[in-house]
Structure 1
Amino acid sequence: MKTQRLLILGRVQGVWFRESMRIEAERLNLAGWVRNTPDGAVEAVVQGPADAVNALIEWAHGGPPQARVERIVLTDAQGHYSGFEKRID
């Protein structure tokens, strides 16, 4: 089990990034959450088998078609998650 925090920087708000990530995370059977940050980034915590987490990280480097990801900051995260939610906070 791997738990990773992603801070996704670039043109990632207003381009359907959170919903696209939620759909991809559910497809990969991952748990966690995704939300916009006040400074224009997208933050996510993703939990599941290492290969599936790595696949979602790889997906996030491109994101949905209108996104322009400049970089992703990865850190280890803690916690236990069930399901994957798109947060509004």
Structure 2
Amino acid sequence: MIRRRVVVHGAVQGVFFRASCQQEASRLGVAGWVANRPDGAVEAAFEGESGAVTALVDWCRQGPPRAEVEAVDVTDEEPEGIRGFDVR
């Protein structure tokens, strides 16, 4: 079990990034949350099996079709044992 926090920069709000991320997390079996930030970025925390979390972080590097991802900051964190996936 691992946890990663990501901050996705670029044109990532208003392009269904959060809803698409939730769908991808569900498909991969990853728990966590995703939220828009006031600075225009999207922030998320992913928790689950290493391969699934890595796949979701990789998905964030492109995002949904209308997203224009410029950069993704990734930070390792201690898992919290969360369940489900929330859009905030």
TM-score band by shorter chain is over 0.9
| TM-score under structure 2 length normalisation | 0.96
Question: What SS class does the counterpart of residue 45 from structure 1 fall into?
Answer: strand
Residue 76 of structure 1: how far off its partner (Å):
1.3
**Corresponding residue of 1:82:** 83
Partners in 2 of 1:77 and 1:42 — Cα distance? 17
Structure 2 residue runs of 5 or longer lacking an equivalent are none
Q: Tell me if 1:40 matches 2:40.
A: yes
| TM-score under structure 1 length normalisation | 0.95
What's the CA shift string for 1:29-82, capped at 9, x where partnerless?
000000000000000000000000010011111100000000100011232210
Aligned length: 87
Partners in 1 of 2:81 and 2:9 — Cα distance? 25
Structure 1 residue runs of 5 or longer lacking an equivalent are none
Partners in 2 of 1:43 and 1:80 — Cα distance? 19
Query: What is the RMSD of the two structures over their aligned residues, measured on CA atoms?
Result: 0.7
In the TM superposition, 1:1-89 aligns within 5 A as 1-78=1-78, 79-87=80-88
**What is the aligned-residue identity percentage?**
49
